[in-house]
Amino acid sequence: MGYYDDHYRPRRPRGMRGAWIASTLIGAVVGALIVVLALPALIESNLLPYNTDTGSNEIMQGDGESNPSGPLQQVNVDVSSQITQVVGEVTPAVVGVVNYQSQEGFWMEGDATEAGTGSGVIYKKENGKAYVVTNHHVIQGADEVEVVLSNNTHIQAQIRGSDLFTDLAVLEMDGSEVEKVIELGESETVKVGEPAIAIGNPLGLMFAGSVTEGIISGKKRAIPQDFDMDGRADWQAEVIQTDAAINPGNSGGALINLQGKLIGINSMKIAQSSVEGIGFAIPIDDALPIIQQLESEGKVTRAYLGVEAYSLNELAQAEWQQELRLPEGVEGGIYLRSIEPMSPADQAGLEELDVITHLDGEPIEDIIGLRKHLYQEKEPGQQMKVTFYRNGEKQETTVTLGSQDY
């Protein structure tokens, strides 16, 4: 039984191949001679499709006429754009933040040394003081904090307040040297796909004022946060996703739109340096109430429920019926993975794997909805009606919310 190969080409006998090569070379030589001998006659007869006059500094067209645009000229292109203008206006409001910590030991005298650097944004200037928002993890553990302006002026700052869960902190400093305050925008109106610009100090003050450009890749991303490193999420951070490069040192810097307005606070804490093209920023709409509370009170007080909860949309639809036994009419909600002992949720009778669908009669679709209702509409000590499903049965309970300072 035979076979064939589509790409196989039989070889010519050696004698035939040599004759073919010789004839090809002879033909090429003869053709070249004909062109060389005939070219002067063709030029004199003006039969060529182009002009061969090399003495002119003008570009000639095929009909022999000079280019009406005249001789070649050098063109200067203005490469300035809306982005360069916006960056020039906003950069003075983006600062460096230096964390100094005392190092005590047998060979040390307790002097504060630099423990890390990050970025910050000047958002307010009032009564001779300037206020900077940065990340909590940038100033965490600091004994002293220093703000470095875009012109390299160093100013001592005090920590007005800091919040672990939102990764935000507010600094206060002398405002006499401050010339620019950033304009606040709205993160709610941001659209996926629109341009975004990140400004900060990646890898330290050596690269102060670095600018990266990208787009808004996603809104309202819920990122689990494990602060005590026990393998369980302590918080769900709602963030803006962008592909503008955000690196260590960018933390606390500005994410702005093309109008130069602040739409987010960059946070490397909720990004991974091993991942490329995915950065996160705290939406300014969520950050602003926290900033105001830190500035006025120095801490954030939140209503406390005492549950570890996750959105139903994080589970496969099959598990809704098999594990949680939800009826088909349920389209969204949150399921409780665990209940803290003696918490308000525990005292109200909520249990593991309960599925909450409504709070005070309002539908709760996901963990972000829970956060917004709990922290924006409720106060510690208030009661909250909870509608939930347990083993396929709809039930209700009332929770008296606790208080927790962060």
Catalytic residues: 137, 167, 251
User: Residues 125, 133: contact at Cβ < 8 Å?
Assistant: no
CA angle 208, 214, 217 (to 5 degrees): 125
Count of residues making up the chain: 406
Tokens of 162: 């800091």
| Helix H or strand E segment including 286 | helix 284-297
Question: What are the CA-CA distances from residue 69 to residues 58, 59, 72, 300 (Å)?
Answer: 9, 9, 8, 69
CA angle 199, 205, 207 (to 5 degrees): 60
User: Residues 388, 401: contact at Cβ < 8 Å?
Assistant: no
Say how far apart CA 311 and CA 365 lie, in whole Å: 7
Q: How many CA atoms lie within 13 A of 325 on its CB side?
A: 9
